[in-house]
Chain A
Amino acid sequence: MSERLERGLSKLRSQIDPKVKSFFSSCVHCGICAESCLFFTETRDPRYTPIYKTEPLRKVWQQEYTFWGKLASKLGIAAPIAEQDLADWEELVYDGCSMCGRCSMVCPMGIDIAQIIFKVKTGLSAAGFSPPDLAETTQRAVDIGSPMGVKLPALQAQIGHIEEEINLKIPVDVEGSEYMALLSSMEIMYFPEYISALAKIFHQAGVSWTLCSDAFEATNSGLQIGNTEVAGVLVERIVAGAEKLKVKNVISPECGHAYTAIRWEGPNFIGRPYSFKVVHILELLDELLQSGRLKTTGKESSRLTFHDPCSIVRRGGVETQPRHILNAIAENAVEMTEHGAMNWCCGGGGGVSGNERAEPLKLKVFNRKKSQLEELDVETIVTSCSNCRLVIEDGLEANDMEINIVGLTEMLADHLVVDNSQ
């Protein structure tokens, strides 16, 4: 047995807990999950069936934890798991799954398939079967602190531009602030309007906030590739930054998987609870609006819809907040037929968008979003995840669709009551 296979198998073995046993022993192979997965519905390739993507872990469970499996292994009837078994699944798990978790919502047995697929990822990445692009970004995240290689000077330069443009100070490293905001590299590079929106909003609401020069990056490549050690290292940086600045709260940016990483999985990655609270930016904005600390004026009149980022809504529970905010600033918002916790993924989550070779597949499965949008005939899509936003932009362009796409936080910032005294 090769050393990499051994590494992968022992990682997979370590993933088998009572939950996994229950999940695998209750699966009746009905195939219902296939119809919930956009990689299946758009390709009709049965290999993209969610539960099929968990085969490597299922095989380990079957051979080492079930009676027949153990018997067959002892008698030498069952073929042991080979390196090829893991290699064959790399494409299915990394290119053919956006970790959107729709399958986990429809399984009649209640199996959280997305969670098992993540466990498979940990085994595959431990064995070195992960897309080269993701491996690179993960390395970059560990070495430089950002998957896209965005260093502090780049952020400082952006802050400089923004401060000049909006004439507001963007606080950095202010100790004792109430909130520490995190960003994703995508926001720094492609959507700096998010940073200016934060500045405007917090200025009006009188929120004491800061960025941290040691820990501004919220994305977590460790989560995407399935390396929990790396994920822990990256979360640890944020925790250190927050503790250094003695903040009470950390704000997760619009980015979807960052929210999962910092809000839900972070404490488990580092093995201890936080000394601060983590809120998603939309949760905070909703709270500020409800409490009257934010005042808005005017409403968007164009026909628009909200695209629910999977990690924030289905896997994160922030569903009502974006709708409250949108209703405060838009008068013609419509819902897609399947929305909220059952929304269809853009196709680029779980590291798919950062995986060059998955590009054609990603564009193909975008057809699902495309047909949802065509049904509504909207002028604008609002969302709250910079990754969704980029993926949808790509998809719209590839399909020659002329629809605007904006971030919800920026849209809110555009509707603030302007304070003239400043």
Chain B
Amino acid sequence: MLKQNMVSPVGDILKFLSILMLLVITVISQPTFAAVEGEPEGVIMKNPGADLWREVRQRNIAIEGISQIKSVDSGILINPEADRWTRFRVDQLVNYAAIILAGLALLLLVFYLLRGKIKVEGGLSRQMLHRFSDYERVLHWTLAIVFLFLAITGLTLLLGRTFLIPLFGQEFFSLLASSSKEGHNLFGPIFFASLIMMILRFVKRNIYEKGDLTWLVKGGGIIGKSHVSGGFFNMGEKTWYWIVILIGLLISVSGLILVSPNFGQGRVIMELSHIVHVISAIILIAVSFGHMYLGSVGTEGALESMKTGYVDVNWAESHHDRWAKECRDNNRVISADKFNRLQGKINSGTEESGSVAVEGNK
């Protein structure tokens, strides 16, 4: 409390000064830009400061001067790259990101209305196969939760100024933005750690193999109704996996560069990292819409594998026939009754106790 009271006036003054400076720079540099782009109409009033600022800026690249503050880029008075970066962020990133994400969500809705839930061929058999261990499911949902948190806080930071301020007002948004930033920075490395665990656990099963191409040719069973072939993971899942891993790594590395600016990276690297970070994150969020759709309402029986770890045999047959056959060959199919017992769902009571044990004994 005490500390904040002491700090905030200084902070406010600093903020005020920096805003003032930005204003000054913008106002002053405006005519320069106008001059460069050349507007034939109107009278060109030469700003008296323009020459001075052109001198300061010198050329369109950052020039290193000498400063008493010894740190990266401290000798650069003005970084002209930042202008381009700001413009790209405000004019393109924000708008395109919003359009892409909203458009995709709409597309999926339309697709769902047209195609509906993809049913399991032959209906559910109630015979089950074990697919994912506890650790694998915990890992999946950990990554999912952390990813969602980062997506929400990240989008708040990226789009908030444009879309949230009109909704909530500036005061609330400043609070939201500050907490989003703190939360985003904190959870970023957790995403990276989960991603590494994801690589270690699943990489073997996701290497492409013969037969995956057939899946692609047939459009993964989403388009049309033909039977498609797949192993433990099919071509579509493998591709999703590699998108998560590769883009996830790109996001993580660029994010780590941004979150820890004290390893000698200069402004240009930071700007570049930011752009890489945002573009790759938008791609991953966009593709994850598809994953979330297919994993829940889009495909019958798919969510089950991440809830209980078990899947219906017929589901496995439709999406992973080679894996299903392997399971059948190794006698790994379990009855609905046994599945319910493994889930602790059967209140067997005393009479059934005998049958519980006998069945399990086979």
Contact = CB atoms under 8 A, between A and B. Distances in A.
B354 A360 contact: yes
10 contacts: A43-B341, A43-B356, A44-B342, A47-B341, A87-B350, A88-B347, A131-B350, A360-B357, A364-B357, A364-B360
B349 A88 contact: yes
A358 B361 CA distance: 13
A360 B358 contact: yes
A91 B350 contact: yes
B214 interface: no
Contacts of A87: 349-350
Contacts of B343: 46
Nearest to B347: A88
Given A88-B347, A363-B361, A45 B356 contact: yes
A274 B356 CA distance: 44
Interface in A107-136: 131
B342 A361 contact: no
Contacts of B341: 43, 45, 47
Contacts of B357: 43, 358, 360-364
Interface of A: 43-47, 87-88, 90-91, 95-96, 131, 357-358, 360-364
Interface residues of B, number: 16
A360 B361 contact: yes
Nearest to A42: B360
- Counting chain B CB atoms within 10 Å of each CB, the highest count among A45, A90, A362, A364 belongs to A45
Interface string B337-362: 00001111011111001101110110
Q: Which 3 A-B pairs have the closest CB atoms?
A: A361-B357, A46-B344, A360-B357
Interface in B9-61: none
A44 B360 CA distance: 10
- Counting chain B CB atoms within 10 Å of each CB, the highest count among A87, A90, A364 belongs to A364
B341 to A, nearest CB: 5
A45 to B, nearest CB: 5
A91 B342 contact: no
Nearest to B352: A91
Given A43-B360, A45-B356, A361-B356, A91 B344 contact: no
Given A45-B341, A47-B344, A91-B348, A358 B353 contact: yes
Nearest to B349: A88
Contacts of A91: 348-350, 353
B353 A361 contact: yes
A90 B360 CA distance: 20
Contact of B361 (A44, A90, A95, A364): A364
